């Protein structure tokens, strides 16, 4: 009986070896999934970005620099064409003035906090080139709004939400944004830099430099 059991076990173990020898090209029962290629991450993209907004109102003698945060999400309708929506909120900024007397500096200064908070929302196509590799360039043209909120509150989630309370009043203007940039990816993770002209319409066209930079994730 023991000899019979040993022979049976040896036969069972030999079956897979014999099958492989007879059918050397037969598929393995364990399916191996190779890593995804660069061109397969082409369904869309999302991320949170930092924003630099150089506000230059029409007829102003100078510009005001703002920084803020925003987020965007996009979905590709074609490997080279995506549709993106984004929104960002720029924080208050401080101005420091130096008091002078008789053309000489008196040694005193005053810091004033700006009450103006720009809020921007944009939507439009993104045309991208080099979708099959780790680097790609793109151009975009978006439309939306630029809203200027006046508030004494410190920057927070509440002040951001409160900026929508005045949306649609005299401080809300139609905006158009043409821009472009580059992206570099390692698999799904990448970094994006973009610059363009955020134009809003208020007594004519107001041209303002806008730069965004941030990590992004594609899928």
* Residue boundaries of the structural domains of the chain: 43-218
Query: 210: closest CA among 96, 52, 102?
Result: 52
Q: What is the pLDDT of residue 141?
A: 98
166: exposed, middle or buried (C-beta count within 10 Å: 0-12, 13-18, 19+)?
A: middle
Q: What is the pLDDT of residue 105?
A: 52
Residue 104 and residue 94: Cα distance in Å, rounded? 23
- DSSP letter string, 66-96: EEEEEEEEEEEEETTEEEEEEEEEEPP-EEE
Residue 117's contacts (CB-CB under 8 Å, 6 or more residues apart) are 89, 90, 91, 92, 148, 149, 150, 151, 155, 159, 163
| CATH topology for the 43-218 domain | Porin (2.40.160)
Q: Token pair for residue 165?
A: 């309370």
| Alpha-helix residue ranges (DSSP H) falling in 23-76 | none
pTM of the model: 0.70
Q: What is the pLDDT of residue 107?
A: 58
Query: 138: closest CA among 80, 211, 79?
Result: 80
Specify the 3-state DSSP secondary structure of 90.
Answer: strand
Query: 144: closest CA among 166, 179, 120, 170?
Result: 120
Q: What is the pLDDT of residue 8?
A: 46
Q: Token pair for residue 11?
A: 């036969």
For the chain, 219 residues long, give each residue's pLDDT as a single digit of tens: 545 444 444 444 444 444 444 445 545 444 454 455 555 777 899 999 999 999 999 888 889 999 999 999 999 999 899 999 999 999 877 655 556 655 555 556 555 556 788 999 999 999 999 877 889 999 999 999 999 987 655 555 555 555 555 555 668 999 999 999 999 999 899 999 999 999 999 989 999 999 999 999 999
Specify the 3-state DSSP secondary structure of 18.
Answer: helix
71: exposed, middle or buried (C-beta count within 10 Å: 0-12, 13-18, 19+)?
A: middle
């Amino acid at each position: 009986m023991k000899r019979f059991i040993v022979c049976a076990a040896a036969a069972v173990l030999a079956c897979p070896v014999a099958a492989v020898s007879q059918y050397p090209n037969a598929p393995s029962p364990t399916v191996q999934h190779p890593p995804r290629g660069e061109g397969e991450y082409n369904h869309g993209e999302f991320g949170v970005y930092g924003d630099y907004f150089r506000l230059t109102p029409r007829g102003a003698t100078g510009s005001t620099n703002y920084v803020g945060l925003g987020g965007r999400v996009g979905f590709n309708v074609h490997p080279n064409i995506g549709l993106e929506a984004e929104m960002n909120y720029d924080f208050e900024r401080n101005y420091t003035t130096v008091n002078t007397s008789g053309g000489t500096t008196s040694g005193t200064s005053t810091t004033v906090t700006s009450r103006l908070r720009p809020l921007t929302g944009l939507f439009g196509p993104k045309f991208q080139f080099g979708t099959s590799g780790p680097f790609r360039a793109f151009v975009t043209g978006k439309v939306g709004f630029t809203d200027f909120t006046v508030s004494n509150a410190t920057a927070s989630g509440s002040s951001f939400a409160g900026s929508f309370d005045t949306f649609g009043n005299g401080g809300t203007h139609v905006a158009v944004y043409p821009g472009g940039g580059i992206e570099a990816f390692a698999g799904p993770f990448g970094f994006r830099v973009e610059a363009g002209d955020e134009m809003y319409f208020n007594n004519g066209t107001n041209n303002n430099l806008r730069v965004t930079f941030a990590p992004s994730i594609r899928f």
